[in-house]
Amino acid sequence: MRVYQERFGVLNGQTVTAYTLVNDHGMEVTSLDYGCIISRIIVPDQKGTKENVILGFDTVDDYVNHSPYFGAVIGRVAGRISGAEFELDNQVYQLDQNDGKNHLHGGKIGFDKIIWKTEVVEKADSVALVFTYLSKDGEEGYPGNVNMKVTYTLTNDNEFQLAYEGVSDQRTLLNVTNHTYFNLSGDLKREILDHVLTVNSNQFAELDSELIPTGELLAVEGTPFDFTAGRKIKDGVESQHPQNVLAGKGYDHPFVLGENQHEQIVLKDETSGRTLIVETDQPAVVLYTGNQLEGDFEIRGVKARKYLGLCLETQGMPDAIHQPNFPSVILNKGETYQAKTKWRFTV
């Protein structure tokens, strides 16, 4: 196990550093202190060929100018908040409107656009990066000074662990996720349409025209949202189901996860033989299939286009503050927010 670091670039006069974690099997994960961005994951295919299996850039400027949250930590609150406001303890908090009239992924300067303090922790069977940041009271409109800690750990079992902790001095909202786009074909050789996804979920959240949950949970049975026995992503892309069409021909939906944390989510690319297994203690996963991934830029030499990657954002339910039937994302003063997710790669 080892870790090495290098200068990645400069942002507003501050150096951005890239840290690469390497295990004894040659799996590599590169992360930036800017946004806790996971910029590259190198794993072998069934023939032993090692390739990158996520979307990212090689320069700070590309992340600033083009990134749709590639690989970043999202906070304070992942997803959309309707009307960019919420009420807590009889006080209304106004948030930044950075998605139409709504608030998205923590605002204009969320956790994804901060340079975090970083500590390297090396052990015999793992290497880790511990990122810390103080999100001050009023930042992006949220109450409370929140001390955040994000820990990324790579093990010799080809497992990458993501752990989040947060403590606030006021009652506030906190719902953190990671926004990595996966493509198991390797170095973006193919789109993710033929990836097979299995999700232990019997319900998904219905979305309105602004992609915000209506509060209704719909049964997946008999729909393109049923991933319980495995399903290709293109089933939803080609579907005429109103919710698939609404999301831009694909998925951008929260799925309610079963409580059993054993292989809740499995993503496979049959051509490369690569498999990603996701386990989490969070109540939901937002499946986003890159339906809006377009623009006049390249992703490591590949023209940006729809369906080049998909996100598996393990988190609390989006807009939970406005949906009393969703699990709460309120963090009480002095309590510790904790969330954990594991990614395990196999062939």
Catalytic residue ranges: 179, 313
What are the start-end ranges of the H helices in 25-166? 60-66
**Amino acid present at 175:** N
CA atoms of 252 and 280, how far apart (whole Å): 19
Greatest distance between any 2 Cα atoms in the chain:
59
CA atoms of 116 and 138, how far apart (whole Å): 19
Q: Kindly give the pairing relationship between strand 336-346 and strand 330-331.
A: unpaired
Helix (H, G, I), strand (E, B) or coil at 331: strand
Q: What is the DSSP letter of 187?
A: T
Q: Which of 111, 98, 106, 128 lies closest to 34 in space, CA to CA?
A: 111
Q: Kindly give the pairing relationship between strand 91-94 and strand 159-168.
A: unpaired
Q: What is the DSSP letter of 128?
A: E
Alpha carbon distances (Å) from 248 to 137, 154, 203: 36, 35, 20
Where on the phi/psi map is residue 84: left (φ > 0), alpha (ψ -120 to 50), or beta? Answer: left
